[in-house]
Amino acid sequence: MIDIRQVRDDLSRVKASLGRRGVAPEDVDRVAELDVEHRKRLADREVLRAQVKALSRQVGQARKAGEGGRAAELAEESRRLGDEERAVGAEADRVAEALRQTLLELPNLPSEDAPDGAGPEDNVELRRWWPGMETGASQPEPADHQRVPHWEVGERLGILDMARGARLAGSMFPLYAGRGARLVRALTSLARDRHTDAYLEIRPPTLVLTETMTSTGHLPKFGDDAYHVERDDLWAIPTAEVPLTSLRRGEILAEEELPLRCTAVTSCFRREAGAAGRDTRGLLRVHEFEKVELFAYATEAQAPSVHADILARAEGVLQDLRLPYRVLDLCAGDLGASSARTFDLEVYSPGCDRWLEVSSVSWFRDYQARRANVRYRPDGGGAPLLAHTLNGSGLAWPRVWAALVETGRQPDGSVLLPDCLAPYLGGDLRITPPVG
């Protein structure tokens, strides 16, 4: 959540900043009003508490002086004020919870460097990459045999079976078979080998507490998009960002530990409640998928270089895979609620003739760390400071899988995979139709 002191100290700036995201001014005013009310209730409670303490001393003095009647009157007044203090305290707690819930719903302040804009159409394309561009080659035009959607390629080769996946779990739950399943495993192994040189590998739980989901900003705002195990009050993670953000929840790190980098391979679960009816073919939008996550705690000064490193690593994997991609700088109106700055990577899918998002690389400032209470003690001394959090997919596999089988499709219907996967596929890079 944002720092309430920013609302107190510069309300107009906060309203202008959040206005870039489409937040109504009255929503920010509501936060300011609740904050003023909360502080007034606390002040009233402290006045009453001081009066009760003063009366308690007077009661003792009256009793010592043998003034029983006066002591009784003072004691009755102390009880009356005590009841009033508790009532005011309860009201202060109620307002504090209302303020907290309102802050939890409020998105992060966008970075000043994030482009202005209201939605995806206003995102800024920074650059493109394609095989051969380093030697001056033009971006290649897909051949006709590559313009077959991956769900058709996968069915013909027996490596993707959406129908049986739906029979097992419902629509949008994919089932990979044979070489298709091995391709997912190979992609994970490739990414793990690329990232564990500098990122500590973690295997976190895939079911987490409500508090853990709240720390990243996925709750309460996006509860409808998550799978909730109500009996145990646990949530299936939509991304490994969720458990990694809370890895050091409630702790104070030493600055020398930062940046603290982690990577995790997990299944991810998303109900996609807000996307009903869109992109339901093949792997364009699924409820369960494998993803390699990159995450870091950092100081504010370290954050830009860490952000750049995560982006470079995600791009590096796409270049290894020889997949054409583009980098988008998301405008303020298209940022995720918790993000201050995000770069998206999109691969080109020739069979679908679309750009498909495969990674979002985000910097959250201290928005998530404030929720998770992750701080660090500066080397030079002083009070602990909130850490900054950053993360990115390195990468998410369904759309990468789709782009690979479409891009690698050969005139004879087989699929030729990139050389970097050879060590993970026993050297056999060609997927052919099953015999018979």
What is the per-residue pLDDT across 171-193, written as a single tens digit (0 to 9) for each? 999 999 999 999 999 999 999 99
> Long-range contacts of range 360-363, CB-CB < 8 Å, 24 or more positions apart?
360/330, 360/336, 360/392, 360/393, 361/307, 361/310, 361/311, 361/314, 361/390, 361/391, 361/392, 361/393, 362/336, 362/338, 362/390, 362/391, 362/392, 363/111, 363/303, 363/304, 363/307, 363/339, 363/388, 363/390
Domains of the chain: total:
2
Tokens of 250: 């409630």
| Residues 191, 292: Cα–Cα separation, whole Å | 7
Does residue 364 sit within a domain? Answer: yes
Query: CATH number of the domain that 77 lies in?
Result: 1.10.287.40
With cut-offs at 50, 70 and 90, classify the pLDDT of residue 54.
very high
The reply to whether 272 and 207 lie within a common domain is yes
Q: Which of 105, 136, 161 is the last residue of a domain?
A: 105
The reply to whether 185 and 330 lie within a common domain is yes
Does residue 112 sit within a domain? Answer: no
Query: CATH number of the domain that 229 lies in?
Result: 3.30.930.10
The reply to whether 22 and 71 lie within a common domain is yes
| Predicted confidence (pLDDT) at residue 277 exceeds the cutoff of 90 | no
The reply to whether 317 and 384 lie within a common domain is yes
| Residues 107, 342: Cα–Cα separation, whole Å | 14
The reply to whether 58 and 156 lie within a common domain is no
The reply to whether 32 and 68 lie within a common domain is yes
The reply to whether 281 and 182 lie within a common domain is yes
The reply to whether 91 and 182 lie within a common domain is no
The reply to whether 341 and 424 lie within a common domain is yes
Supply the range of the domain harboring residue 141.
Answer: 120-431
What is the per-residue pLDDT across 229-265, written as a single tens digit (0 to 9) for each? 999 999 999 999 999 999 999 999 999 999 999 999 9
The reply to whether 124 and 87 lie within a common domain is no
Distance from CA of residue 365 to its chain's centroid?
12
Does residue 221 sit within a domain? Answer: yes
Q: Which of 75, 105, 135 is the last residue of a domain?
A: 105
What is the per-residue pLDDT across 375-416, written as a single tens digit (0 to 9) for each? 999 999 999 999 999 999 999 999 999 999 999 999 999 999
Whether the model pTM is above 0.85: yes
Unique residue bearing structure tokens 């479409």: 406
What is the per-residue pLDDT across 7-46, written as a single tens digit (0 to 9) for each? 999 999 999 999 999 999 999 999 999 999 999 999 999 9
Catalytic residues: 270, 285, 357, 360, 399
Please state, rounded to an integer, the average pLDDT across all residues of the chain: 96
Q: Which of 105, 128, 151 is the last residue of a domain?
A: 105
Question: Quick one: angle between helices 68-105 and 25-64, nearest 10?
Answer: 160
Does residue 110 sit within a domain? Answer: no
Does residue 268 sit within a domain? Answer: yes
Does residue 423 sit within a domain? Answer: yes
Does residue 115 sit within a domain? Answer: no
Does residue 291 sit within a domain? Answer: yes
